[in-house]
Structure 1
Amino acid sequence: MNHNAHARPSAIRRFLEAQSSSGIVLMASAMAALLIANSPLGPSYETALHAYVGPLSLGHWINDGLMAVFFLLVGLEIKREVLDGQLSTWPRRTLPGIAALGGMITPALVYLAFNRGPTAGGWAIPAATDIAFALGVIALLGNRVPASLRIFLAALAIIDDLGAVVIIALFYTAELSLPDLAGASFAVAVLVAFNWLGVRRLTPYLLVGLVLWLLVLRSGIHATLAGVILAFTIPITLTPSRSDGDMDAISPLHRLEHALHLPVGFLIVPIFGLANAGVPILGLPAGAFAAPVTLGVAAGLLVGKVAGVYGFSTLAIRLGFADAPAHAGRLQMLGVALLCGIGFTMSIFITLLAFPDDPLLQAEAKIGVLAGSLVSGGLGYTLLRFARRDAQPDRSPIEP
């Protein structure tokens, strides 16, 4: 093995460490939001989120503004992994790709089994995995989980994020403003031209990206997608060896990704959790806890995710389409599939898009997200805590 790999952690390992740590902070912010919303401070909490700061309310600045930066980081991670990381070859993409597909289809079907008519629009809520939460749980388990499974989970969640971005763009777009859409298209053309012309400084990209965000916000497409579009235009230097960390210093994508990891993981996502996880449970009607939306989301995460991820993965391995992660036993694969049922950040974000004008449906969906995520995470942790590692090293396209 290359000694440089020991001297400096690879990009995927740095990514895993950052996400794991931020997941623990996110857990704390979600708990704080729940406590505040169900305390005497609850009304002030709601009033603050609806207070206007300039043209947007504080809640909109968080969900449309700060989360655009979160989506920028998601886009950078997707581009890096697809072009120069753990998803850079088809063998590496196969198993997490099939697992992610199952993990999006099955939860949606489970949700629709509980919901018809107006509430059917929430079908995508349980289809997303929260990578920070899931990796945060795995971090608590130390070396009980093989490195190949950690990387499998990270790759699956990255593909899952890409799927969520596509779902938001296709199914949760309001009426379009053609002039603003034309302006946004021109901004994208400028960003692509920067890339073709070899512009390496980040400032021009970020300035045009800010204009792009404003135009997308006005166009009717959700503003956070501007972050993903901007990310896909940031240049990346393909490394001749992935253990060679020196390329990070000269690649604009690596520089920006490195700069965003800490503020996104430890500031932006916790603020989002603090602003959106505060469900006033004590003030809800009793029927909200057994409502179709609540049950559909919770069952989608707890049952649909594990059935989709584990079922599709097992089928792909048995049919010879993909190799199992190295040193991972079946119970450990099942444990990771359960962790995929933790759907906090993206699930709550899609909740806001699916039910924009109905606070009760939003609350029901959030209860489902919190309940499904809590049970999935607890069961996944318990199973991985006591499951044995596979003593036989399998051939795996996802190397630790």
Structure 2
Amino acid sequence: MARLRRRRRSMSGQKSRPGAAAKQAPLISSRQRRRLERRSVLERITSNGTIAAAVMIVAAVAAVVCANTELYEPLHEWFARPVVIGIGGWEFSLTFELFVNDFLMAIFFLLVGIELKYEMTVGELRRPRQAMLPMLAAVGGVVVPACIYAVINQGGAIYGWAIPMATDIAFALGVLSLLGSRVPPAIKVFFSTLAIADDLLAILAIALFYGHAPSAIWLLAAAAVTLALAMLNRRRHFGLAPYVTLGLVLWFCLFQSGIHATLAGVILAFTIPARSDINAGGLVGWLEGKLPELDDTFDDEAHILGQHDFTHAVYGVERVMHRVTPPLQRLEHRISTPVNFIILPIFAFVNAQVRLVGVDLGALVVDPVAVGTYLGMLLGKPIGIFGMTFLMVKTGLAQLPEGVQWKHIAGIGILGGIGFTMSILIAGLAFTEIPAELLASKTAILAGSVSAAIIGLIYMGIACRERR
């Protein structure tokens, strides 16, 4: 750029002013800088797990309040209204409640699948030996709550056995983050791995036990779409549009097949490439080779719209830089904020409609479904997580991560009882046609999640107090 300026000035007979070459226009204006700073603040807010969990809690509280006022009936009428999707002469409709629970939650499951793939690619799950302890602890945290529920409800509503087994990742990690730097990093890694493994087990339970009688034709269609997604990945196609389009088709096939359609989100996540389309090792050298071209083609005296050679060269750099980020990561950036601040709050508001007006609270408290769910979450989770971890360590099959003590494992077990999102989803699937049991299970889920959050937060605050 300096060479081009000197060349023009020599041709026009102008003399360079002292220090002119050293002076450069700022890259962005002060207004643009302030705009970027505001965007940066917004990104920090939307990436904060505590704030996301708080928004979901506010939505759930609002749902309970609305359910016990005159708004209950109009809200449920609105939830029952059909959402119509049409393409040409073809139409497909489902109620707003189904749209939230089956379609919007499939996007949530897509984000869960992305987190699972990330952990299996570069996270803790890529090292089986290190991941074995929290993953088996998650198994204990699934089996014991399910057994407690099944024992209490034997001969009754045993179909809800999977309700207390799920841990809400966003809610639980949001509560843990309230303790800030007092929590050792190893505890956060252990708990994150456990919660992800727990979610994977919940997804399997939903897919295997909470669907309808499957349709072979639609299952074959779903398998064909999955194969097409796998072929796109194998042929190293790095554009997101074909994956998202086929993902929508896969969701429709699974919705029609009888298997819960949210599984489409997980399948889609595992077929999207986690690699980069660009050789990152040669990127710096390539950019250095492009700088002289940008320097030579830029004219600081011409309007940017007239600098076709320069803008063409910049566009080429932009296209390459855009392809550096793997498609999986690009998709995560696009959906994480809508999932945490739109989809999950909407889900919480729609599904936390616990109406207690005219309900016999004494009978509700002793209902086996409510008792099994509450005790499964509040007792089964810590017993299962701590017990399995203790068994693995004492038998020599694993060892506690550095910086993690037994008191921390007990606290993780308590926080594992926060099972809001997945538990409500499973309850809705288990008791769709039994309103009384659905009310009992939802009430117990809300009470159990709040109890686990408060007790776990107080306990972990005490357990981590001695950390320097």
**TM-score, with normalisation over the residues of structure 1?**
0.89
Structure 1, unmatched stretches of 5+, are 1-13, 393-400
Map 1:29-48 → 2, pairs under 5 A: 29-48=59-78
Q: Distance in 2 between matches of 1:309 and 1:114?
A: 20
Match of 1:162 in 2: 200
Q: Distance in 2 between matches of 1:136 and 1:330?
A: 22
Q: Distance in 1 between matches of 2:352 and 2:172?
A: 17
Return the match for 1:191 from 229, 239, 243: 229
Residues 19, 136 of structure 1: 8 Å contact kept: yes
Q: Distance in 2 between matches of 1:136 and 1:39?
A: 30
Identity, % of aligned pairs? 41
RMSD: 2.2
Residues 32, 274 of structure 1: 8 Å contact kept: yes
Aligned residues: 374
Deviation at 1:228, TM superposition (A): 0.9
Residues 310, 334 of structure 1: 8 Å contact kept: yes
Does residue 255 of structure 1 match 2:330?
Answer: yes
Match of 1:133 in 2: 171
Structure 1 counterpart SS, 2:213? coil
Map 1:264-283 → 2, pairs under 5 A: 264-283=339-358
Deviation per CA, 1:362-387, whole angstroms, max 9, x where unpaired? 11101111111111111111101112
Match of 2:373 in 1: 297
Q: Distance in 2 between matches of 1:248 and 1:101?
A: 39
**Larger CA deviation: 32-41 vs 342-351:** 32-41
Change (3 A) 1:382 1:214: same
Does residue 215 of structure 1 match 2:237?
Answer: no
Match of 1:56 in 2: 94
Deviation per CA, 1:22-60, whole angstroms, max 9, x where unpaired? 212111111111111112212222221112222111101
Q: Distance in 1 between matches of 2:403 and 2:217?
A: 55
Deviation at 1:91, TM superposition (A): 2.1
Change (3 A) 1:318 1:354: same
Deviation per CA, 1:295-316, whole angstroms, max 9, x where unpaired? 0000000000010011111222
Return the match for 2:146 from 108, 127, 132: 108
Q: Distance in 1 between matches of 2:189 and 2:437?
A: 35
Q: Distance in 2 between matches of 1:134 and 1:38?
A: 27
Match of 1:89 in 2: 127
**TM-score, with normalisation over the residues of structure 2?**
0.76
**Larger CA deviation: 325-334 vs 258-267:** 325-334
Deviation at 1:249, TM superposition (A): 4.4
Deviation at 1:21, TM superposition (A): 3.1
Q: Distance in 2 between matches of 1:23 and 1:203?
A: 30
Structure 2, unmatched stretches of 5+, are 1-43, 85-92, 281-320
Counterpart residue identity of residue 333, structure 2: H
Q: Distance in 2 between matches of 1:345 and 1:90?
A: 28
**Larger CA deviation: 279-288 vs 167-176:** 279-288
Counterpart residue identity of residue 229, structure 1: I
Q: Distance in 2 between matches of 1:17 and 1:324?
A: 29
Q: Distance in 1 between matches of 2:417 and 2:384?
A: 10
Map 1:340-351 → 2, pairs under 5 A: 340-351=416-427
